Structure 1
Amino acid sequence: MNAKTSNKVATAVIYSFVGIVVLLLFFLIGYILVNGIPYISWHFLTSPSQSFLAGGGIRDQLFNSIYLLILTLIISVPIALGSGIYLAEYAPDNVITKLIKTAIEVLSSLPSVVVGLFGYLLFVIKFGFGFSILTGAIALTFFNLPLLTRNIEESINDVPDLQREAGLSLGISRWRTMVKIVLPSALPGILTGIILSAGRAFGEAAALIYTSGQSAPIVNYSNFNIFSQSSFLNPMRPAETLAVHIWKLNTEGVTPDAHSISNGSSAVLIIVILLFNLGARVIGNAIYRKITSGRRG
């Protein structure tokens, strides 16, 4: 077999593997959407769930997922941003830095259920936070932090050194060069990583079963006092998220229409995650065009 023929064969094999992956992805997403979209309605999205009666919705679970995600990003983004800047710009190339990067890699490969059990033992039991939104947000921070840190580090490293040298040659300090020149250039990649990690956290269930809880108590959406137990903004109340709700329906669901609610909830979850991924690309391209007047691929 000559080089030209072997190249064609190798290319065909690679395209075949890629095609299989794409077909599997479309099959899974299509199956969930086809079976779930017919059950989605305004009543389904705005009604509370029912434990024993049919006709319940996912209002509280959907709000809990969004609230927990916002709280997670508030905690994790500043930590990941500082860590990413340090590793990309200030960390010396020595054994300690390599150890830190190895620890980040190990942490990113931990199963989410292990992170959930860690959060349960430390924050729920040891610190006495109980099952709460705050405990779930802290657990998701541990789950999300390695991905965010590596993304921010790589986005900063992708900025050409010429931009750093230009700032330093003008007498600008290293920190101001980072803040005023390097960070804005890396912003599209950083925002893309944040949005993608948000989609990953939004669909997480295993870590939240042991931290935020499996119950969705009735809350008062007109009560804005975060210290009130009945307030929807209270971060110390238990909060069953949408992903946990799906798991619960398929394992312990006793409602007559548990299968229908599970299908509809799964479709909503997939749609939201797809919107996160689409939003990451659109926002990243928009910011990149604004900064460079160009377009990313």
Structure 2
Amino acid sequence: MAEYASDNRLTEVIRACVESLASVPSIVFGLFGYVLFVDVFQIGLTILGASVALSLLNLPVLTRVTEEALRAVPVDVREASYALGATKSQTIIKAVIPAALSAIVTGISLAACRAFGESAVILLAGGTGTSGEMWDFNLLSPGGNLPVYLWYVQSEALVPDAKEIAEKSAAVLVCIILLMSTFFRIPVWWREFRFKRKILLRRK
């Protein structure tokens, strides 16, 4: 969409569809996952269904962020690459994507954190409980995430310290999201540090 597709009515329609999907509420994607995996395929509430629904939820946002990041790269970068004899694919891989990497990683970080904090999609497509095993890698088993557990404890739990459990769960959720955001930024920070270090060494 950013590099190969020409600006015509087809690409305009595709962009309009992507932007429309980005504005759809998450509960609609959850209902879609429920209908697809529970009613159509009849495999029940599963981690697989929740994963597919979450992917469809975040794909439009990630698509738009990535496209805008690639389009924001100055034309001079492409022209300089072509002047050195690079092909279009080499220019995209070696020049355009590295120049837009910071914005792309930011978009991935936002999408990942949004997926981790999502509850409506998991509730409808993955369920509220788990299989009971400590390390269960079966994609066809039910699986609720921390936001779903937080909602369940806050609304359905009968234990006297339910409010305290919910508050601590929310604190853990915030800490995990902050750690995820930092983890996604580490490669960009390291790349920028190496780039600045090379410039300083060349000046010396």
Q: TM-score, length-normalised on structure 2?
A: 0.88
Higher Rg: 1
Task: Tell me how far 1:117 sits from its aligned partner.
Answer: 0.5
Residues 291 and 183 (structure 1), Cα distance of their counterparts in 2 relative to 1, 3 Å cut:
farther
CA contact (8 A) 2:69 2:100 kept: yes
**Aligned counterpart, 1:16:** none
Task: Tell me the alpha carbon deviations over residues 218-241 of structure 1, each in whole angstroms, 9 at most, x when there is no partner.
Answer: 1153xxxxxxxxxx1111110111
**Structure 2 residue 30 is matched with structure 1 residue 111:** no
Task: Tell me how far 1:275 sits from its aligned partner.
Answer: 2.7
Looking at structure 1, the residues matched to 191 and 66 of structure 2 have their Cα atoms a distance apart, in angstroms, of 16
Task: Tell me how far 1:210 sits from its aligned partner.
Answer: 0.7
Looking at structure 1, the residues matched to 59 and 49 of structure 2 have their Cα atoms a distance apart, in angstroms, of 15
Unaligned stretches of 5+ in structure 2?
Answer: 200-204
CA contact (8 A) 2:123 2:148 kept: yes
Looking at structure 1, the residues matched to 161 and 79 of structure 2 have their Cα atoms a distance apart, in angstroms, of 63
Which of residues 250, 265, 274 in structure 1 aligns to 2:169? Answer: 265
Q: 1:113-262 residue pairs with structure 2 within 5 A?
A: 113-221=27-135, 232-262=136-166
**Aligned counterpart, 1:91:** 5
Equivalent residue pairs, number: 198
Task: Tell me how far 1:271 sits from its aligned partner.
Answer: 1.5
RMSD: 1.9
CA contact (8 A) 1:214 1:239 kept: yes
CA contact (8 A) 2:105 2:185 kept: no
Task: Tell me how far 1:292 sits from its aligned partner.
Answer: 6.2
**Aligned counterpart, 1:284:** 188
Report the 3-state secondary structure (helix = DSSP H, G, I; strand = E; otherwise coil) of the residue aligned with 1:90. coil
Report the 3-state secondary structure (helix = DSSP H, G, I; strand = E; otherwise coil) of the residue aligned with 2:43. coil
Unaligned stretches of 5+ in structure 1?
Answer: 1-86, 222-231
Q: TM-score, length-normalised on structure 1?
A: 0.62
Looking at structure 1, the residues matched to 195 and 103 of structure 2 have their Cα atoms a distance apart, in angstroms, of 12
Looking at structure 2, the residues matched to 119 and 267 of structure 1 have their Cα atoms a distance apart, in angstroms, of 29
Task: Tell me the alpha carbon deviations over residues 47-68 of structure 1, each in whole angstroms, 9 at most, x when there is no partner.
Answer: xxxxxxxxxxxxxxxxxxxxxx
The one-letter amino acid of 1:255's match is V
